Structure 1
Amino acid sequence: MADDRTAALIERLRAVDSTSLADAGPALRVLPTGIAALRPGARVVGTAVPVDSRDDLVPVLVGLRSAGPGDVLVVSGSADLALAGELFATEALRRGLAGIVIDGLCRDSRTLRTIDLPVFARGTSPRAYGATKLPVTDAPIVVGGAEVRPGDLVLADDDGVVVGSPEEVLAAIEGAEGIQRREEALREAIGRGESIFDHLNLDEHLAALHEGGDSRLRFS
């Protein structure tokens, strides 16, 4: 369960996209692009509960049992066999989890696409891992070179999965909100018939690049 300050930060995260957050916080960690929403349009915002699956179901089940309302189970694994299915996800939904992110495969995808729990994974397999290995609990994991720690915040949508500590996310959230507002305003302006180039410093940026100067492409 998040404390009041973290809960307020999570609420702010609900209003921004992963793209805005990643742009505003380049130091935040982005998980591998192969991890995608099983149901397009799904979003996950919550507190990470990392699980090293050891390519086995026991650690994942122990991780699920330790998770509660608002948590996001983030599972490291491989892309050989499934690490979660419909019964696992249904229990996660019953426990109030915000979602599941798997660096590996799931199964029972037809059912997973219908239940009200976002699941992100690398793909699916009809076969599941065995259940013989002891878990490593309450420890960071590494997913595609990105570390995920207990208590990190997670924002996942169709564009990817972004992870950071509450302090790291707090440092980026105001910038992300600003990016979100600007892009929404620009989209509305373009919808009214204005050109994107009326709001972009492209010519100035090109001139600076030709001269070897320091410049940034930016919207007004």
Structure 2
Amino acid sequence: MDFKTADLYDSHGESLRVCEPIFRDFGGRVRFCGPIVTVKCFEDNSFVKSTLAEPGEGRVLVVDAGGSLRCAMLGDLIAASAVEQGWAGVILFGCVRDSAEIAEMPLGVKALATNPRKSQRRGEGQRDIPVTFAGVRFASGDQVYCDEDGILVAEQSLLG
């Protein structure tokens, strides 16, 4: 990954959406980018699991989990599936678990916190709808850029 969010912002300025700095890095990759796929779900990771089991093709899953801190929406088994399927990363407005194992994986993971409690699986959620959190609107097909300095969202790819 040959980009820095600070440099991208300097080059493209207000055409970019900048996330509020509320996320921590949990994956083995801090710098990652790709086209967005969105999932909206609350304390039910069924859609997270099924989406990350599909071919990722370098995409980034953006999960609006309502900011819940009561359970984890991503653990080591689902993260391993994401790596196997070629996902670049996950941005999770919620919690992860198995953080030590996820830290060893070649996957970008940004989330709010950790929680050992697993989520329920009721098959509830929505996919490929615009979601808004951290002061930013995310839509499937937009591009996201993540690194040590933060998260930027663009309507089209900024890298050639």
TM-score range, shorter chain: 0.7 to 0.9
**Structure 1 residue 109 displacement after superposition:** 0.5
Tell me, in whole angstroms, the C-alpha distance in 1 between the residues paired with 2:53 and 2:95. 20
Relative to the length of structure 2, the TM-score reads 0.88
Measured on the aligned residues, the alpha-carbon RMSD in Å equals: 2.0
The number of residues matched between the two structures is 157
Partners of 1:67 and 1:148 lie apart in 2 by 20
Is this contact kept in 2: 1:54–1:133, CA < 8 A? Answer: no
Is 1:79–2:68 an aligned residue pair? yes
Equivalence for 2:120: 130
Q: Distance in 1 between matches of 2:45 and 2:127?
A: 14
Residues 1:58 and 2:46 aligned together:
yes
Give the 5 Å matches for 1:57-206: 57-66=45-54, 68-77=56-65, 78-80=67-69, 81-166=71-156, 169-170=157-158
Q: TM-score, normalised by structure 1?
A: 0.65
Amino acid at match of 1:62: S
Q: Does 1:15 align with 2:5?
A: no
Highest CA radius of gyration, 1 or 2? 1
8 Å contact from structure 2 (residues 41, 124) kept in 1: no
Separation in structure 1 between the aligned mates of residue 10 and residue 114 of structure 2, nearest angstrom? 30
Question: C-alpha displacement at 1:58, in angstroms?
Answer: 1.4
Q: Which has the higher strand share?
A: 2
Q: Is there any run of 5+ residues in structure 1 with no aligned partner, and where?
A: 1-13, 175-220
Indicate the SS of the match to 2:144. Answer: strand
Find the partner of 2:31 among 43, 52, 60.
43
Gaps of 5+ in 2: none
Whether the 8 Å contact between 1:44 and 1:156 is mirrored in structure 2 is yes
1:29-67 CA distance string (max 9 Å, x none): 122311121258621111111111223111222332445
| C-alpha contact 2:58 2:86 (8 A) present in aligned 1 | yes
Larger relative contact order, structure 1 or 2 (CA cutoff 8 Å, min sep 6): 2
Whole-angstrom CA distance in 2 between matches of 1:32 and 1:90 = 28
Letter in 2 for 1:36: R
Higher helix share: 1
- What letter corresponds to residue 97 of structure 2 in structure 1? R
Query: Could you tell me which amino acid in structure 2 is paired with residue 79 of structure 1?
Result: S
Alpha-carbon deviations, 1:95-116, whole Å to 9, x = none? Answer: 0001111111100001011111
- Give the whole-Å Cα distance in 2 for the aligned partners of 1:140 and 1:130: 23
CA distance in 2, matches of 1:41, 1:57: 22
